[in-house]
A and B are shown apart, each in its own frame.
Chain A
C-alpha cells in the first residue's frame, strides 16, 4: 500500500496531485503540499540518518527549522544540496533524497560499532586522542571526516543563478505566524513600508499545524483573510519561503529567499535563491518558539518526536507518525497533541507527566477521553533500535531527582510525543546584540533589553497563548509604524481566541538515570551526539564557562545552533556545577539562523563578475597580436608578445634587444595619472614629494619619490609642469588609487588652506612609450609641430603637439635608460596612435614589448619598482637615493628619516647581485646568508627582490636588499634554495648597464 501512514482525510495537502520521489533510491509517493519529512513519514520511513559520532539510527524529530537528524542530500550534479532539513524541503516531482551518514548503507552501518565503543568516545574525544603526535592529524582528519561526514559538497560548478536585492523599509517583521501577521496588519494599514518574511511556503506559522479556532472558525480562515488583506496593501511586501537569518549593526537584516527551490531542477522560473539585505527602521521579531525535547534514556530512537511536530504532521499533512503513541511531558501543551492523536484515530497508550499534580483543563479533557495520565512519572528508557517498540516508566520521588519505585513498568508504543516546554526563538534578538534573560516562571531564556530598534512579540517573547500573541502583534506593529511616523488606521477587530488556562510547567532538564552510569544514553543534542553524561564530564574535567563546554562537547554546533539542546544542556551544566541557570548563562547565537547556501551569499559575483577587469584602450590590439597577459591589480597588461613558437625567455630576449638596439614600443596606459591644479600646486608637491618642485619650469618633468609619514618609500613617478598652476603627475600602476586617496586626505584634513584640486585621469589618457635609439626617428615621422632635436627637446622635458593627427602630450622620460618618448593622448585615440607608431616604426622593425621586458630593462639600470624592490620598510637612503631628499624644506616622512631606527648603520640596503655562475637566475625572494653552514637559526642578511636574465649583458642580474650592503660590494653571499642547492653570488652596484646614463642623453 502506498503512503500507509496517511490519514484518510484532512490536512493542507492536495490529494489530487500525487508526487513521485525517491529516498535512498527507493521510489515513494507523496502529495503536493507535503514537506519531504511529511512524505517520508506518510510512507512509514522511520530511519533517515545515522548519528554524527556513534552512528546510531535516527528518525525525524521535528517539523521545522529545528530538525536535528533528517539532514539529507538532495538532487545530483551541480544542483546537489547537502544538509537539507527534510522538514523544510517542499516535495516536488522527481525529488531524489539520500541519507548522508551511513556506510555502506543506512540500514547496515558498519560504523555503528562506535555505539558499542561509546565508553571510549567521551566528550573531547578528538582533543584527547587525535592531537598527538600533531603531524598525524592530517591522516586522522581524513578518516574522521569520512566517518562523521554530513553531506557532500558538489564537485561541479553551480549551474543555478542567485540574486541579491538591497532594500529599505519602515518595519521588517520576521515570522508570519499569528503575532507576525497581526503586526503586519497593524503596520501595513498605517501606510508604512512593511516587509513580512516567513520561512515557510505558506503564512500562518504554527496555526497551520494546529486546530486552534478564532472567532469560532478554524484559525486558518483568519490567516487566509489576513494574507488577502496584506496582499492588497501597496506598501506591504510579503516574502514566503524567506528566512530572516542574520541581524547586523544599524538594523541591517539578511533574508534568504528560496525562490525556486521547491521546483524540480532545470525549471527556469527565476533565480534559485535571493539574498535580501534590508535596512529596517524597526524590526518586529515574531519568530515563534521551539519545543524542547526531554532528556531521558534512548530518547534518540526513531519515533521519539516533539509533541508539537506530531500535531503538525497530523493536522497539516494528515500523516500519523505512529500507530500507538505515548506522550511524555512536563507541561500542558502536549495534551493538545494527545487530543490530536486521539481524534486522528491513533491509539494513545498513556500520557506520562513528570508533574505530581496534573489538574489543568487540557489534561482533564484527555482524562475524559479515557486516556491514562501517569502523573509523577517519567520515561526512563525507550526500547527498539531502528524504531520505537516500547518505553519504560518509573515513578519519580517528590523533588524529581530520584525514583520512588524500584523497577520500571513497560508501555507498548511505536511513537513517543515529548514536550519539555518551549524555548522562545531568541536568535535574532541575540544577534542584534541583546542578551537573553532567564525567566524563572517559563523556565526559558527570553529576549532581554533591546540594543537596536527591535522588539520580540508572541511566542518569541515567551507568550504562549494565541490571544496574547495576536494582541502583542497588533500593538507592536502599530508602535513600530508610529515610531516611523505613520499613524495607526483602524481595520478589522482582533479575532477572539478560545482561552484555555494552562497550569505551570515543571522544569525537568534531565530525567534521573535509573541505572546510574550504566543507564542508556540520554541525548541533549541529537545532531552532535552530545549526551547529558558528556556535559557532566566536561564540568568534572574543569570546564566552567558555557562557551567552553559548548566547544568541548559540540553542544549546539552544526545546523542546530542551540535550537533543541541548548537550554537543557545549560541547565545540566548549571546543575553539575551547583549553580543556577542565569549565572551559567547561554551561548551567543550567531548568524545564520539556518544554514544559507554559499551561492546565495555570493549572488552573481562569480566568474567574470567576481572582480572588475581593467583593459587599456589598446587592449584589443594586444590580443589580436598574440600577447600573453599578466594581471597587475585589476589591469590586464601585455606580458610579452611571443612570435611563432617562442618561449617567454626567447620573446623577452628579442624584445629587450630591440629596445636597446633599434626601437621598441610599450603600452604604458596603466600608469596612474593625477591632474594637479591650483595656485598652491607647487607648494603641495613640495610637501608630498621628497625633492623640490618650486624651481621646475613649465615644460619640464621631474622624478619624485613619495614617502609615508613613517619615512618609508610609498610611491614614485614622473610629474610634468604643464603651466604655472597645473601639473600632470604619474604614479605606479598598482599604487594609483592609494596615492590619490593619500593626497586627497592630506588636502582635506591637514591642509584645507591649500588651493589645489586633484583629478584622477588614469583612464582618460592612453600612454604609448616609444623606446630605443631610433625612437626619435619614429616620433619625427609622426609629428611635425614638435622639434625633436636633442637640444630643442631635452631629456626630462615635455612638449605639446600633434601626433598622428591627435593632440598629444609627449614626455621625454625613460624607464629603460634609452632615448625614449612617452606619448599621451586622450584614451579614445590610444589605438589609433599606437597603430600609427607601429606603421611609422616599421622601417626600424619596431618591436612591441610587454611588462616582462620592461622589468628587465629597468633592472639593468637599477631602477626600482615600488612594491617589488620595496616593501614598506625601505627608506630612500636604503635604496641609495639620498640625492632626492631636499634639505631646505619639510615633506611628509622627512622627520621619520631622523628616527633612531631610520639611521641605524646596519639597515638593509639595495645592491646588485651577480651569480658566480652567470647563467643561473636566482629566484625572487631567495634568502641570502653569509654562511650556509651556520648553526640554525642561520643569520639572514636579506633577500633577492628582482632577478632576471639580461639579454644585453648575457648573464643573470638581480637586485637585493642586504644588511649594510653598500659597504660590501665585492663580497660573495649565499642563497640556500628550497631544493637544497646553495647558490653563490657577488654583491655589486645595482646599476648594471650604462652607469653614466649616456644612452638616454642623446
Chain B
C-alpha cells in the first residue's frame, strides 16, 4: 500500500485516496472544432508507461483535494507531489 504525501495534509495511507488516472489531460478548448479522432483521443487514450507517470489523486477521505503525483510504475516510488496548476518535475504542468 502506497504512502502518499498529500500537499495539503501530509503523508497518509493510500486507502484515504482515490486514483484519477493520467494527469495533464487537456480538455479541448473548442470541442466543436475538435475532430472525432482528436476528441476520442482526449476521451479514451491514455499513456501506459513503464516508469515515470504523472497522475491525479484525490484525498477523498481527507481534505478532498485533487493533486498531481509523479510515480514510477515499476518501483512505485513517488518522485514528486504537486498541486493542480503547479509545476511538476521535468516541466510537466497543468494547462494555464
Contacts and interface: CB of A to CB of B under 8 A. Distances in A.
Interface string A857-895: 000000000000000000000000000000000100011
Interface string B38-59: 0110010000000000001010
Interface string A895-912: 110111000000000000
CB-CB nearest 3 A-B residue pairs: A895-B31, A250-B3, A748-B66
A712 to B, nearest CB: 11
A748 B68 CA distance: 12
Nearest to A710: B43
A752 B2 contact: no
A264 interface: no
Given A249-B2, A279-B3, A748-B65, A896 B84 contact: no
A741 B58 CA distance: 9
Given A750-B27, A752-B84, A745 B66 contact: yes
B20 interface: yes
B1 A745 contact: no
A899 B27 contact: no
Interface of A: 248-252, 279, 433, 451, 709-710, 741, 744-745, 748-750, 752, 890, 894-896, 898-900
Interface residues of B, number: 26
Contacts of B39: 895-896, 899
Contacts of A898: 36
Contact of B34 (A252, A710, A745, A895): A895
B43 A433 contact: no
Given A249-B1, A749-B56, A895-B28, 15 more contacts: A249-B76, A250-B3, A251-B3, A252-B3, A279-B13, A744-B64, A744-B66, A748-B84, A890-B31, A890-B32, A895-B31, A895-B39, A896-B39, A899-B36, A899-B40
Contacts of B94: 749
9 contacts: A248-B1, A249-B1, A741-B60, A744-B64, A745-B58, A749-B56, A750-B27, A890-B31, A895-B31
Contacts, number: 52
A325 B66 CA distance: 68
Contact of B18 (A251, A741, A894, A895): A741
B85 interface: yes
A755 B60 CA distance: 21
Contacts of A451: 75
A548 B39 CA distance: 44
B32 A895 contact: yes
A895 B37 CA distance: 12
Interface in B57-87: 58, 60, 64-66, 75-76, 84-85
A151 to B, nearest CB: 30
Contacts of B3: 250-252, 279
Contacts of B20: 745
B92 to A, nearest CB: 14
Contacts of B84: 748-749, 752
A752 B75 contact: no
A117 B30 CA distance: 75
- Chain B CB within 10 Å, residue with most, of A249, A752, A899, A900: A249
Nearest to B64: A744
Nearest to A747: B66
Contacts of A741: 18, 58, 60
A894 B28 CA distance: 12
Contacts of A750: 27
Nearest to B67: A748
B41 to A, nearest CB: 12
B17 to A, nearest CB: 12
Contacts of A899: 36, 39-40
